[in-house]
Structure 1
Amino acid sequence: MLKIDRATYDAIVAHAKKDHPDEACGVVAGPEGSDHPERFVPMVNAARSPTFYEFDPSDLLALYKEMDERDEEPVVVYHSHTATEAYPSRTDIGLASEPNAHYVLVSTREHGNSDGPVEFRSYRIIDGAVTEEEVTVTDELRSKA
């Protein structure tokens, strides 16, 4: 189960809506081994595509160095789908390289960047196997780290 605070949930949804019609992507880092998402890190979709996302390699390297210095790991890896449901594509499954991460997908297909609900779902992806998990949104505040 993914337990995520309301502020982080809202930030992920806002990023997905802002970048629509392109896919948005990012990471929520947390203390190593904690399974607690704390630090929201929106990233730039280097592909600038409505059907594909790609982290900029230099930005991703800088993020991993920073997480290493802070004893953090990617607890959530998120991206949006702009025209399809919030379910991992074959490409998404192939790119999933963090076995401890929650892979969050946000579909903006229904309302785009306007007001309205999104589809927000989380998965574990390990060795190509996709397992959907429950998402619990709490009112706890995330760390200001």
Structure 2
Amino acid sequence: MTLRVTSKHVEAILEQSRVEYPDECCGVILGPEGSDRAEILKPMINAAHSPTFYEFDSKDLLALYRDAEDNSQEIVVVYHSHTETEAYPSRTDIAYASEPNAHYVLVSTRKEIAPENEFRSYRIIDGVVSEEDVEIVEVL
């Protein structure tokens, strides 16, 4: 599979990762149910406030799910940053991957690659990680 995402969303996620450094940033991109279209960026607060772990605030997540359901949307992308490691899912990321239809995007802001950033996407299903291509477009 290939994740199609707008350059505007990529830049916003990278900017969020820089602003929230040294903590991991996190969020989702919503789209119409069953469409696999990453349309609406929803940055979230990392309730863990940690450089090595992210956790969505439970109240914010509940509100997100309710809003998505009310608008016939679903989570298309779950994203977060790794601040000092490569953009590859950790064992914790794999264990907590609970959206089988979602693209899991990781960005890395580690110093070894500065000022560059990694932006990679994966499918994580039943503990199996598969990297996928990312197509950055101006318009979906």
Interval containing the TM-score (normalised by the shorter chain) = over 0.9
TM-score (norm 1): 0.93
**Aligned AA for 2:121?**
S
TM-score (norm 2): 0.96
Residue 135 of structure 1 aligns with which residue? 134
- Root mean square deviation, CA, Å: 1.3
- State the number of aligned residues: 139
Aligned equivalents of 1:111 and 1:80: distance in 2?
A: 15
Aligned equivalents of 1:15 and 1:70: distance in 2?
A: 25
Residue 110 of structure 1 aligns with which residue? 111
**Aligned AA for 1:97?**
S
**CA deviation after TM superposition for structure 1 residue 76, in Å:** 0.4
Residue 79 of structure 1 aligns with which residue? 80
Deviations 1:79-121 (A, max 9, x none): 0000000000000000000011000000001279xx7220110
Give the 4+ runs in structure 1 shifted more than 6 A: none
**Aligned AA for 2:90?**
S
**Aligned AA for 2:133?**
E
5+ long unaligned stretches in structure 1? none
Aligned equivalents of 2:99 and 2:49: distance in 1?
A: 23
Aligned equivalents of 2:12 and 2:31: distance in 1?
A: 16
Identical aligned pairs, as a percentage? 59
